[in-house]
Amino acid sequence: MTSPDLSAPATEGETPLLSVRGLARHYPVRLPGGLFGRPGLLKAVDGIDFDLARGETLGLVGESGCGKSTTAKLALGLIPPSAGEIRFDGAPAPAPARQDAAWRARRRRMQMVYQDPLGALDRRLGILDQIAEPFAIHAPATPRGEARERAAALMDAVGLRPDMAARFPHELSGGQRQRVVIARALALEPDLLVCDEPVSALDVSIQAQVLNLLDDLRARTGFASLFISHDLKVVRQMADRVAVMYLGRIVEEGPPETLFRAPLHPYAQALVAAVPVPGRRRARTALRGDPPNPVDAPPGCPFHPRCPVAIARCATERPPLLRDAGRAVACHLAPASPAPASPTPASPPHAAVSAAA
């Protein structure tokens, strides 16, 4: 390696836990127009690269429909990619196509927390049984009593009272259900926890509690995390590093502090500007134009139809994601060498989290 590849994430020392290169997922779709609608290609995720170190939390933000959940499922190996490569712990991940024994065994090391906890739980099973289920799946030799004891300990760890053990999911509040899902996901101490909008379905008053719980647990057990949200405040609280997605691509990446204080990409700027701040009445610059359509995305910079500062080149030439000093941006107008606002490199694991929420 003589000339550094500017588009690849900088790898520092040890192999990352999760490493993703050129990852894409395309869906063939039929465009509206009745029976004989034109076939099109929906590029839900269209070539993204990132690394996730052990114990690190990477936040993924972007509007709804930009491909965050698809990225999560690809990273976990739940759906096969159309292109690209995923390495987990340095080795290629088992193919999701057949969901064979190797694939199932791999689940033990990577788990997921879902947006809709009620949907993710079996409504006909008591919650203790559901929390104990990972033991039954991956350690069937565990005696039943021991599995239940460990499940009870997990309930305690996520703040559920012992008397709730026999309850069914519909007998719990939304926040409690999400605690059940978290307990089940962490039962076997996975290395990677993917959280896909874990608090979006919860009351605002509950959100902070669940986020604090996740943060606590991470500090205690040290899992790495891909943390997805459309809410910048939430990501800012949770992430060590943030990637902004637009139409299936990462358009900007960097430490949360700097990225949210001084975003470089016009889309990231618009997102940050749209966050309501107490004392200011309206967002300064709202996103204009139609919401993006991932089918037949525009040529050139995918953001150019909505970009307030687009130039002619933007409509024809796609800006590459260029990395420099812990930040990365994909925009023709971005400063050639974005000056890091603070000298923080990729934040170390367990970095102190700012109280932004």
Ligand X SMILES: Nc1ncnc2c1ncn2[C@@H]1O[C@H](COP(=O)(O)OP(=O)(O)O)[C@@H](O)[C@H]1O
**Interacting residues with Mg ion (CB under 5 A):** 69
Phi, psi of 156 (to 5 degrees): -65, -40
Of 50, 88, 223, 303, the one binding ligand SF4 by CB under 6 A = 303
Site for ligand X contains 20 (CB under 6 A) = no
Q: Read off the tokens for 131.
A: 């929390």
What residues between 258 and 277 interact with ligand X by CB under 6 A? none
For 180, residues 6+ apart whose C-beta sits below 8 A from its C-beta are: 117, 121, 127, 130, 131, 158, 160, 169, 172
Cα gap 77→49, rounded to integer Å:
15
54 binds, among ligand SF4, ligand X, another protein, none (CB under 5 to 8 A by kind): none
Question: Rounded distance, CA 270 to CA 217, Å?
Answer: 33
Sheet strand arrangement including 83-88: 39-52, 18-30, 83-88, 91-92
CA distances for 267 relative to 63, 149, 244, 272, 275, angstroms: 10, 49, 9, 9, 13
- Pattern 14-43, binding to another protein, x per CB under 8 A? ---------------------x--------
**Inter-residue contact 163 to 139 (CB < 8 Å):** no
| Residue 167: CB minimum distance to Mg ion, A | 28
Distance CA 292, CA 267 (A): 12
Token pair recorded at residue 15: 């192999």
Instruction: Kindly indicate which of the ranges 149-157, 195-203, 228-236, 306-314 contains the residues binding ligand SF4, using the contact rule CB under 6 A.
Output: 306-314
Q: Using the rule CB under 8 A, is 324 a contact of another protein?
A: no
Structure token digits, residue 253: 């990446």
Q: Does 317 bind another protein (CB under 8 A)?
A: no
- Report if residue 70 touches ligand X, rule: CB under 6 A: yes
Contact 279, 348 (CB under 8 A): no
| Residue 148 contacts another protein per CB under 8 A | no
Please report how close the Cβ of residue 272 comes to ligand SF4 at its closest, in angstroms: 14
List the x/- string, 33-52, binding to ligand X by CB under 6 A: ---------x-x--------
Could you say which of another protein, ligand SF4, ligand X, none residue 342 binds, taking C-beta under 5 to 8 angstroms by partner kind? none
Residue 22 binds to ligand X (criterion: CB under 6 A): no
- Which residue from 29, 273, 333, 351 is in contact with ligand SF4, where contact means CB under 6 A? 333
Give the span between the Cα atoms of 273 and 286, in whole angstroms: 7
Query: Which residue in the set 94, 256, 294, 302 belongs to the binding site for ligand X (CB under 6 A)?
Result: 294
Residues lying near another protein in the complex (CB under 8 A) are found at 35, 76, 78, 99, 103-108, 111-112, 114, 116, 118-125, 133-134, 136-138, 181, 184
Residues found near ligand SF4 in the complex (CB under 6 A): 265-266, 301, 303-304, 307, 309-310, 314, 319, 331-333
